[in-house]
């Protein structure tokens, strides 16, 4: 426990991390521990600065002023996906002893900035504000609302954003803002192939002047590890299974909002009701009650790596066509080595309740065996390796 200005105590990032390791929530990772140390140092500096501000406000600035840097240098952490950058930043965000703090996805922040700029321009037109340049007042307002800004996924792809970043962040830093950010790229690689990049370049120098740059170069992609432990076959059907399917979907899509996608196929379309990145989600009815065929299944498999199928019923000879389509579908997903997440009325070995000895029953045996193999650890590992090679 740290004691600060006799009033406040705070748990350190290190203590929180050790606790998470102790309870088995995370595995100890030396690369992460290095970032933990830096985040704690930053918290100390921020706490000192806050104390200095308080002292100053109380008028005993000269008597009691602690050694405080005039400007606190933030931290920009970059590295591969799933290394734990966001997790560590979130711990920092929670623990940093500051009220005016904001944690936001970088894209959302920039959307907010552009919105405020628009509003300023409108107000200028209407004559309710005098300043022509929207950036200084927008930056000032943002800094007043929160002086510790934590950005998740710092990335610059939009030219409108790229062109204002230098001036925006110069103004934010001039107003005392401390930046903490996670990113998949080093500052020099931001907006790498962007239009008019030379106009963006000064931002990199400004960023590096106001934030230390650290890489989280852990060997493990923890997200992938976690996903590999996901249940991929859930039964029986019911609310509980639906909830677990939703959780798995949320985990693989990282909470992205799904959209409907139409895959064009000679003269028609295959509709994917829910798609997010390389993941697609269907119900059994979408795929097997509707009159789809091998070409449709192949088109789906070409486009997506992970396929969710909700509500597979127990099948028998009374539902011949859906059963046949399901056999085709599983064959296609098996041959193309996809990750398949299924909710079904019963376990794979009890999915066919038709007459034994018929052609369908024999074919279904193969489907069952494949479905079981696709649930195995080996299958999941092979899938991950394929993903790693592809990326
Ligand atoms: N040391 C660890 N042990 C176990 N799980 C971990 C560890 N570190 C992170 N995780 C888990 O791995 C997942 C990915 O972590 P996180 O989202 O923080 O990664 P990231 O580096 O921000 O990835 P991205 O760059 O893709 O946003 C999270 O679910 C997190 O809880």
State the number of CA atoms in the 13 A half-sphere of 199 facing the CB.
Answer: 11
Q: Answer yes or no: same fold for 2-215 and 224-390.
A: yes
Place of tokens 């552009």: 114
Cα(84) to centroid(ligand 1), Å: 3
Is the beta carbon of 35 within 6 A of some atom in ligand 1? Answer: no
Write the CB contacts of 338 (distance below 8 Å, at least 6 apart in sequence). Answer: 301, 304, 305, 306, 307, 383
The closest-lying atom of ligand 1 relative to the alpha carbon of residue 32 is 1
Cα(252) to centroid(ligand 1), Å: 13
Looking at the predicted structure, is the pLDDT value of residue 287 above 90? yes
Cα(316) to centroid(ligand 1), Å: 43
**Cα-Cα end-to-end distance for the chain:** 42
170: left (phi over 0), alpha (psi -120 to 50) or beta: alpha
Is the beta carbon of 223 within 6 A of some atom in ligand 1? Answer: yes
Boundaries of every domain in the chain:
2-215, 224-390
The domain 224-390: what is its CATH number?
3.40.50
Is the beta carbon of 27 within 6 A of some atom in ligand 1? Answer: yes
Cα(89) to centroid(ligand 1), Å: 11
**Residue 313 belongs to what H/E stretch?**
none
Overall fold of domain 2-215: Rossmann fold (3.40.50)
Cα(85) to centroid(ligand 1), Å: 6
Residue 116 CA to residue 138 CA, distance in Å, equals 7
Per-residue pLDDT tens over the stretch 303-358: 999 999 999 999 998 999 999 999 999 999 999 999 999 999 999 999 999 888 88
Looking at the predicted structure, is the pLDDT value of residue 2 above 50? no
**Residue 335 belongs to what H/E stretch?**
helix 320-335
Average pLDDT, the chain: 90
Is the beta carbon of 151 within 6 A of some atom in ligand 1? Answer: no
- Among protein residues, the one with the nearest Cα to ligand 1's atom 2 is 26
Per-residue pLDDT tens over the stretch 33-56: 999 999 999 999 999 888 877 766
Is the beta carbon of 86 within 6 A of some atom in ligand 1? Answer: yes
Choosing from 16, 86, 92, 251 the residue with most ligand 1 atoms within 8 A of its CB, the one to mutate for a pocket test is 86
Of these ranges, 24-28, 280-284, 371-375, the one predicted with the greatest mean pLDDT is 280-284
> What's the pLDDT score for residue 56?
65
Is the beta carbon of 226 within 6 A of some atom in ligand 1? Answer: yes
Per-residue pLDDT tens over the stretch 85-112: 999 999 999 999 999 999 999 999 999 9
Choosing from 222, 228, 256, 384 the residue with most ligand 1 atoms within 8 A of its CB, the one to mutate for a pocket test is 222
DSSP code of 20?
Answer: H
Cβ pair 337, 374 in contact under 8 A = no
Got the DSSP string for 245-284?
Answer: HHHHHHHHHTTPPPEEEEEEETTEEEEEEEEETTEEEEEH
Is the ipTM reported for this complex over the cut 0.90?
Answer: yes
Is the beta carbon of 32 within 6 A of some atom in ligand 1? Answer: yes
Residue 223 CA to residue 163 CA, distance in Å, equals 33
Ranking 25-39, 156-170, 215-229 by mean pLDDT, the lowest is 215-229
- Among protein residues, the one with the nearest Cα to ligand 1's atom 5 is 26
Per-residue pLDDT tens over the stretch 107-159: 999 999 999 999 999 999 999 999 999 999 999 999 999 999 999 999 998 99
């Amino acid at each position: 426990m740290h004691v600060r200005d006799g009033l406040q105590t705070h748990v350190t990032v290190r203590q929180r991390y050790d606790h998470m390791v102790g309870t088995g929530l995370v595995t100890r990772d030396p690369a992460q521990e290095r970032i933990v140390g830096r985040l704690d140092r930053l918290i100390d500096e921020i706490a000192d600065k806050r104390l200095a501000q308080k002292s100053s406000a109380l008028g005993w600035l000269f008597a009691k002023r602690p050694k405080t840097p005039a400007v606190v240098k933030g931290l920009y952490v970059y590295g591969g996906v799933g290394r734990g950058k966001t997790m560590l930043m979130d711990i920092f965000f929670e623990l940093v002893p500051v009220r005016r703090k904001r944690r936001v996805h970088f894209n959302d922040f920039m959307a907010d900035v552009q919105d405020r700029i628009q509003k300023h321009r409108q107000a200028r037109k209407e004559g309710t504000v005098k300043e022509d340049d929207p950036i200084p007042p927008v930056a000032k307002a943002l800094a007043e609302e929160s002086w510790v800004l934590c950005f998740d996924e710092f990335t610059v792809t939009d030219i409108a954003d790229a062109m204002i970043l230098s001036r925006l962040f110069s103004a934010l830093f001039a107003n005392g803002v401390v930046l903490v950010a996670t990113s998949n790229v080093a500052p020099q690689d931001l907006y790498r192939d962007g239009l008019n990049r030379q106009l963006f370049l000064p931002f990199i120098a400004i960023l590096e002047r106001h934030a230390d740059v650290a890489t989280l170069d852990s060997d493990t992609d923890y997200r992938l590890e976690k996903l590999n432990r996901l249940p991929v076959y859930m039964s029986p059907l019911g609310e509980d299974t639906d909830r677990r399917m939703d959780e798995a979907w949320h985990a693989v899509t990282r909470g992205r909002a799904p959209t409907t996608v139409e895959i064009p196929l000679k003269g028609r379309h295959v509709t994917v009701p829910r798609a997010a990145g390389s993941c697609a989600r269907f119900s059994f009815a979408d795929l097997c009650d509707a009159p789809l065929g091998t070409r449709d299944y192949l088109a789906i498999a070409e486009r997506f790596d992970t396929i969710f199928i909700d509500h597979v019923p127990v099948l028998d000879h009374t539902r011949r066509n859906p059963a046949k389509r399901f056999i085709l579908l599983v064959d296609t997903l098996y041959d193309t080595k996809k990750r398949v997440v299924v909710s079904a009325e019963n376990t794979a070995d009890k999915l066919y309740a038709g007459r034994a000895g018929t052609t369908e029953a024999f074919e279904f045996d193969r489907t069952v065996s494949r479905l079981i193999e696709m649930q195995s650890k080996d299958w999941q590992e092979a899938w991950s390796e394929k993903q790693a090679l592809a990326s």
